[in-house]
Structure 1
């Protein structure tokens, strides 16, 4: 998938602004951003559901409509597209009949983990089961590129884990996956690469570790009964100090200085230094404060 200087406007609002992005075969890419950042609009242009005002979209060297007609692209969206009076199996049989070549229904039922509800009417399925059915439908054409918009909405924890295990197995066979989600733990656990978008522009692009590193600062955690919160807050580079019983957490731009103070000037023990987590990086790079320092949030657009 290759996007070049992609721009989409709705009246005076620029939903996608000069986006350039390349996704390689076999990658699992998380496409993250706050509501209104341009994620769904970008996915719509890749699917040919919206036309860009400027720039180009190529999917395996083809226009989106041609790639979709060849069954090379499929999508799992949050809502819509299901007939409530059909059974799960009937839905797949009917959809498969629309393709010149389709994977066996029994195979995609098993792939999506819904073989046991094949005879259940769609209207009787839970939200998570309906999402799995959408996943099975997307697999019928055996697509090279799979686009997922909040794919695990409505699934329980076990269902989410099984879903992503199936996605990982498909990616290992060369399928490319790009997904948008509000579950940052999913992006952290399953994505090979994370692309962050804010106000229609890509602000960061890299591995999970690289994205976390873009959010400056670290967290120093230690066991320290009766910690002097004011003294810790006064140390160079300290942003915040949080006390949780006998545990102290210090967010700082100078973790070495804080660690040295704790180990030499206090009775602290069990000291740990960790990078910011993905949620903190997400907020730092896509929140309102990020716009005040855009150079600090610029990532590599591959």
Structure 2
């Protein structure tokens, strides 16, 4: 079993100092050195807009200042990491979600205002976008985990269940959103029932070969920390943890395996993903 050495961690720190955004530098400091969560939250607040949503390139591929649903998910994962779901940012963001929720209870993948600002080419939408499991499912799952009471959550939960229960196959990002929801939603019997039905379809979207090239999604993308749902064997997880350690670059960070469409996002994503990879290694006991 490989461990991330002290020298490798020092290289990661150097990568973060040379390349990462302030918010990710502070997340790194919190993760490995016990830095203050208050500093992370102070920076996160700068990404929140007056309407309660998040923008301002918190999701690096959405460069505009305006609020979009996916940056809310990014913000909520950071708030989860800080164990800070009692922060007022959460309910303000839920208020924003209420303003963009569709008739069926979900929020769109992206809203039409995205057309007004620079963004990665895959952020496209029709004029009247429907609700989508991305990011509705992950956001709802995190709100259930932290037992947040807000009017948005009930309809969003019913939307997510309805979409999951009529689903038999899906692409990888949707599969990850479904797993995020099923790991955290309060109705555990229903979650396990749907997981058992969909497990093989979820696994069909996963690259089990750690050397797979291109925009592959690996077991640790679905299970970045030990979870309740038995998606992967311990043998598979341990193999991919070894591979994750080997994937640290000569610069000290971990690189994205999806298209970089403008130069700045390489290191913005690199800083974000380096923290995510180190979180995973720590969660599985692979940091010295």
Structure with the larger strand share: 1
- If the length of structure 1 is used for normalisation, what is the TM-score? 0.29
Structure with the larger helix share: 2
